[in-house]
Amino acid sequence: MPARTGRPPKISRADIVTAAHRVIEEDGVASLTMRRLAREVGSTAMALYHHVRDKEELLLLLLDDYATGHARPAEEELPGEPRERVVAVATAMREALAGCPWIVDVLRADDLLSVGGLWYPEKIIDAALAAGLAMEDAVSAYRIIWHYTAGEIGARAAAAGRRAEGGSTYRERVFAELDAGAFPRLAEVGPRWAELTARDTYDRGLRALVAGLLP
């Protein structure tokens, strides 16, 4: 083991990640700046660059930490029937993401979760294969479910954001200006739109997908 030399570190990657989680939990991802984070760990913004390459790497670190730490369903408790297993895993995935919706913005890329979140695609693809799908179709089934889940989380996050920063004036204006002749259905539901869109429809969509995608 080589002798450790030089100045002993004041902060660690783990400190940074912990502080970043706290900032996000308290004030949202938008508040997570290098300067704010530095203040939180009792250091300077520039010191952070000794532990992470840039902000993107920090976010990836954060993501992975979250995925690894989040409780997932016990393998034995998953239903044996393939379709039900996909529903169970996807529901768990959505639940994990719902706790930190900013994740979807960070890693919407490439249809993949972080390294720590690979359990979900693994299990969904595995169940799809068990249901009799060829590998190609199993992967595409997973991607379709992922797109649906990411879209739902994104919409929820955006709606929550709007709600937090004052009334959703835009939607109200849309319905106020609505031409009832051109858009009779929307005019009809207009008054109930807020109530209806507050409902959780994830499961309904998920089951429709699973029924349509798995043989």
Q: Which does 55 bind (CB under 5 to 8 A by kind): DNA, a second copy, none?
A: DNA
Q: Which is nearer to DNA, 17 or 206 (CB)?
A: 17
At its nearest, how many Å lie between DNA and the CB of residue 50?
5
Binding at 203: pick from DNA, a second copy, none (beta carbon under 5-8 Å per type): none
> Between 71 and 182, whose beta carbon lies closer to a second copy?
182
Nearest to 34 by CA among 20, 21, 24, 22: 20
Q: Select from DNA, a second copy, none the partner in contact with residue 132, using the beta carbon and a kind-dependent cut-off of 5 to 8 Å.
A: none
Q: Name the binder of 108 from a second copy, DNA, none, CB < 5-8 A by kind.
A: a second copy
CA distances from 150 to 3, 16, 32, 135, 172 (A): 47, 27, 22, 22, 25
Sign of the Cα torsion 29, 30, 31, 36 reads: positive
Which ranges of 3-134 would DSSP assign to H, the alpha helix?
A: 13-27, 34-41, 45-48, 55-69, 82-98, 102-106, 119-130
- Residue nearer to a second copy on the CB measure, 24 or 178: 178
Interacting residue ranges for DNA, rule: CB under 7 A: 5-11, 32-36, 43-47, 49-51, 54-56
> Are the C-beta atoms of 66 and 107 separated by less than 8 Å?
no
Could you tell me the smallest distance in angstroms from the CB atom of residue 102 to a second copy? Answer: 13
Shortest Cβ 34–DNA spacing (Å): 4
Let me know if 152 is exposed, middle or buried by CB neighbors in 10 A (0-12, 13-18, 19+): buried
Can you tell me the distance from the alpha carbon of 153 to that of 113, in angstroms, rounded to the nearest whole number?
14
**The residue count for the chain:** 215
Q: Which does 211 bind (CB under 5 to 8 A by kind): a second copy, DNA, none?
A: a second copy
User: Of a second copy, DNA, none, which one does residue 32 interact with (CB within 5 to 8 Å by kind)?
Assistant: DNA
> Does residue 168 sit in helix, strand or coil?
coil
Distance (Å, rounded) from C-alpha 21 to C-alpha 30? 12
Write down the least CB distance from residue 39 to a second copy, Å: 27
Binding-site ranges for a second copy (CB under 8 A): 60, 104, 108-112, 114-115, 118-119, 121-122, 125-126, 129, 135-136, 138-140, 143-144, 146-152, 154-155, 158-159, 161-162, 168, 170-171, 174, 177-178, 182-186, 188-189, 192-193, 196-197, 199, 201, 204-205, 207-209, 211-213
Q: d(Cα 211, Cα 206) in Å, to the nearest integer? A: 9
